Amino acid sequence: MNRSPQAWLPLILTGVVIILDRLTKQIVDKTMDLGDSIPFLGDAVRWTYVHNYGMAFGMKLTGGVVLGYISILAVFVILFVLLRTPPKDVPTRWILAAILGGAIGNTYDRLVYGYVIDFIDVNLPDFLMDRWPVFNIADSAVSVGVVLLILMMLFIKHPKEEEAEATDGNVEVNMPDSLVSADGMTLTDAPRFDSGVAEYAVAEEARRVGEADKSDEGEPGDDPEPEQDDDREVRS
């Protein structure tokens, strides 16, 4: 797991989301009665205080203790994915940090109160629905973050995919500016080679030099004269 300071930096956004979520919920709980609805931008946006015993936006797929366990598990999964995301993938890391803050905010409500405080009430055009389900800051962070992740997966290439397309499957190796053989012949002046081309050129030059050495050894007159024995036989 990445433990560098940069890996933990997006958690600042997580803390901001948690603080804003807790602060707004406390204000609503202290200043409004359950069921109150106060216009904010006319009828388009209202503050409506409700208790949500289900999931985000009032969805009731499950509830109670099971939903609490699911929320805790989701927090740890998001944190794990965030810390495992490469540091170069900055947008994904910050989006996951926002989602983590929203998940922690709503999980706190479920564990402490047994429900989630919702208060943002938005009106939608009649052909869609009467009004959007009441939500909170944590719900906004989670839903916006998930939408952004989906859009990134659909329209933005991952850094690894860009590198793969750039290399097009060819592995490049750094070569000297001038690779010179034993007899002074230059193999190439190019600074970079595909690995297959470089290996072939070196192998061919080595073979040629080897054949030249063998031919030199076989030329007549080049063999050194055998050493003569200075000792002489003494005839009696």
Just list the catalytic residues: 118, 139
Q: How far apart are CA 27 and CA 24, in angstroms?
A: 5
Decide: 122 and 44 in contact? Cβ < 8 Å. yes
Q: 72: which DSSP letter?
A: H
Classify residue 14 by burial, with Cβ atoms within 10 Å: 0-12, 13-18, 19+. buried
Please list the alpha-helical segments (H only) found in the chain: 5-8, 11-31, 64-84, 90-112, 137-155, 159-167, 195-218
